[in-house]
Amino acid sequence: MEHLNDDAELYALGLTERDRDAEIEAHLAECAACRERVVAAEAAAASLAAALPPVPAAAPRRASWWPGLATAAAVLFAFTTAYEGSAAHAASAQMQRTDVALTALASSHFGHTTLTSEPGVIAKAIYARDGAWCYVVASGAPRGAHVMMRRGATARDMGALDPGAPATLFVKNPGKGDEIGIVAGDRVVAHGRPAY
């Protein structure tokens, strides 16, 4: 029985043809390896979607407020303005990082590998086949975890994962590594081998 290969990720994203879906679902019922690959692809897609900032809520209808309620609202607004400004700046920075990663994905041929992870950690590396960039997405990674890339006997720290949920790191020009890993202290919490 032949495995689904890239159709596993396409199926998880809802990009396969409807007539092909029935074949894929029949295969998934019998193949544990492909089921795991689809589950990992769905988790990675969900993590990427979660990295995007939420859509703003619709503007409330104009209402007639009692003067006291209006005063209370103004006081609440004053207290929350600083927090919202900080949150908006963080969301804007996250969106800029996400935009850079999505632009890199859209403009190049890329590969991906699901990283073998500790229980509770789901991680995937998406990378340019020419080594121009690497995007790591991890759910459940310990705070302060770093992405490492090993090439031969040399390991290079690519930087800390952003502390978001999911945690991400986009690296420009990392080259072609033999292994990508996520480390927390002396512990390797996830690792995988890219195929260029």
Residue 68 has pLDDT above 50, yes or no: no
DSSP 8-state secondary structure symbol assigned to residue 183: E
The phi-psi region of residue 173 (left if phi > 0; otherwise alpha if psi is between -120 and 50; otherwise beta) is: left
Task: Kindly report the CATH number assigned to the domain that includes residue 124.
Answer: 2.60.40
Is residue 15 situated within a structural domain?
yes
Is residue 163 situated within a structural domain?
yes
Q: pLDDT digit string (tens) for 124-139?
A: 998 888 888 888 999 9
Is residue 98 situated within a structural domain?
no
For residue 92, name the pLDDT band (cuts at 50, 70, 90).
Answer: low
| Long-range contact set of residues 28-35: C-beta below 8 Å, sequence gap at least 24 | 28/4, 30/1, 31/1, 31/3, 31/4, 33/3, 34/3, 34/4, 34/8
- In DSSP terms, 154 is beta-bridged to 151
Q: Tell me: do 45 and 117 sit in the same domain.
A: no
Range of the domain at 128: 108-192
Q: pLDDT digit string (tens) for 138-175?
A: 999 999 999 999 999 999 999 999 887 889 998 999 99
Quote the CA–CA distance of 176 and 150 in Å, as a whole number.
Answer: 9
Residue 146 dihedral angles phi and psi, to the nearest 5°: -115, 155
Quote the CA–CA distance of 152 and 176 in Å, as a whole number.
Answer: 11
Total number of domains in the chain: 2
Nearby residues of 35 by Cβ (< 8 Å), 6 or more positions away: 28
Q: ∠ at Cα 110 (51, 22), nearest 5°? A: 80
Residue 84 has pLDDT above 70, yes or no: no
Is residue 21 situated within a structural domain?
yes
